[in-house]
C-alpha cells in the first residue's frame, strides 16, 4: 500500500441499515475509536456479537476501492460471523465453509454501487492478497486475507 496521511473506508450494512464512512488510519497509526465503529457496523447481525476485523482486510479494501476508482461505500452482505451463526448456516447447507474466515474477522462479502460484480471480482483477483469468491446469483464478491485462492 502506498504511503499516505490517512486511509478512509465506507460501509453500508444491508441487514442493519448502519453505515460507517471515515478515516480509520492516520499519521502512521490505526484509530481505535474508528476501528470500534467499523467492528460495530460489521458485527454479526444475527447475534449482535462484535469481533475485531483484521486490519489487513481493511487495508485490502482501501486498495480495492482505489483500483475500482470509486468512493462509494462497500455494501456489506456479511462481515464478521459468530461461530454459532456460521455453524447454523453451514448445517443448513448455505455453502458456508465450516472454518470460514468470517469467524475470525478476516473476510467480508461485498458489492459496490455503480461497479459491475465481475469488475469487483477481477480487481480483487489482480491484487493477489487473499481469497476471492464470486457469487453472481447472490450478487456479491467474497474477499478475505487468507491464502491466495479463488472460487
* Predicted TM-score of the model (pTM): 0.94
Tens-digit pLDDT profile for residues 6-40: 999 999 999 999 999 999 999 999 999 999 999 99
What span, in angstroms and rounded, lies between the C-alpha atoms of 122 and 130?
13
Q: What is the mean pLDDT of residues 86-100?
A: 90
- pLDDT (0 to 100) of residue 44: 98
Chain mean pLDDT for the chain: 96
Residue 107: predicted pLDDT: 98
**What integer pLDDT is reported at residue 2 of this predicted model?**
53
- Laid out side by side, the sheet with 131-135 consists of 29-30, 19-26, 6-13, 74-78, 107-112, 140-144, 131-135, 149-150
Give residue 3's pLDDT.
59
148 or 4: which leads in pLDDT = 148
The mean pLDDT value for 77-104 works out to 93
pLDDT at 4: 66
Q: What is the pLDDT of residue 95?
A: 83
Domains and CATH numbers, the chain: 6-146 (3.30.1380)
* Percent share of the chain, pLDDT over 90: 91
Cell numbers at 35, concatenated? 476501528
Tell whether the model's pLDDT for residue 80 goes beyond 80: yes
- Phi (first) and psi of residue 44, to 5 degrees: -70, 110
- For 46-72, the pLDDT digits (tens) are 999 999 999 999 999 999 999 999 999
Amino acid at each position: 500500500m502506498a504511503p499516505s496521511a490517512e486511509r478512509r473506508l465506507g460501509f453500508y450494512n444491508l441487514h442493519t441499515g448502519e453505515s460507517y464512512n471515515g478515516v480509520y488510519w492516520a499519521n502512521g497509526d490505526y484509530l481505535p475509536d474508528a476501528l470500534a465503529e467499523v467492528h460495530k457496523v460489521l458485527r454479526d447481525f444475527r447475534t449482535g456479537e462484535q469481533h475485531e476485523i483484521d486490519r489487513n482486510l481493511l487495508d485490502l479494501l482501501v486498495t480495492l476501492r482505489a483500483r475500482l476508482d470509486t468512493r462509494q461505500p462497500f455494501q456489506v452482505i456479511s462481515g464478521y460471523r459468530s461461530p454459532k451463526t456460521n455453524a447454523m448456516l453451514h448445517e443448513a447447507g448455505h455453502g458456508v465453509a465450516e472454518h470460514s474466515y468470517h469467524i475470525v474477522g478476516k473476510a467480508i462479502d461485498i458489492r459496490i454501487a455503480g461497479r459491475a460484480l465481475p469488475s469487483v471480482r477481477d480487481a480483487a483477483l489482480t491484487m493477489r492478497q487473499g481469497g476471492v469468491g464470486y457469487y453472481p446469483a447472490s450478487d456479491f464478491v467474497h474477499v478475505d486475507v487468507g491464502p491466495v485462492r479463488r472460487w
